Amino acid sequence: MPDLNALTSSHLQAALADEHGRSAELLVRDGVLRQSILALREGTELAEHNSPHAASIQVLVGRVRVTGEDEPVVGAGELHTLTHQRHAVAALEDSVFLLTTVTGLPGEPPQDGETALR
């Protein structure tokens, strides 16, 4: 079972050292379910991308803004359902979040967009 506290710390340190200001790891791959941990240095953005069938973001450390419909700011300890429209995620401060996605429907092949997390 992944230790989210340890992963949060290691990915934040990796993002701070990375020239692009980010670090990510796919933690769970079970059928169409994906859970990934992502860390972004303050000011770093995941470029606008298509949304999977369903997704949520749980911020573990920091604050991020999700662009799209209402552009919410999601802070540490908060869980937010992501829009079904194209969106981006911008780190307002050094941040780590858990991204949960459903990449297809049962019996369908996964969508191609998941490669952005690897």
Q: Convert the pLDDT of each residue in 58-75 to its tens digit.
A: 999 999 999 887 878 999
pLDDT band at 97 (very low <50, low <70, confident <90, very high): very high
pLDDT of residue 106: 64
Question: Residues 1-55: pLDDT tens digits?
Answer: 789 999 999 999 999 999 999 999 999 999 899 999 999 999 999 988 887 888 9
pLDDT of residue 68: 80
pLDDT of residue 115: 42
Q: Which CATH number fits domain 4-104: 1.10.10.10, 3.30.470.20, 2.60.120.10, 3.30.70.380?
A: 2.60.120.10
Specify whether the CB–CB gap between 65 and 78 falls below 8 A. no
How is residue 84 written in tokens?
């079904």
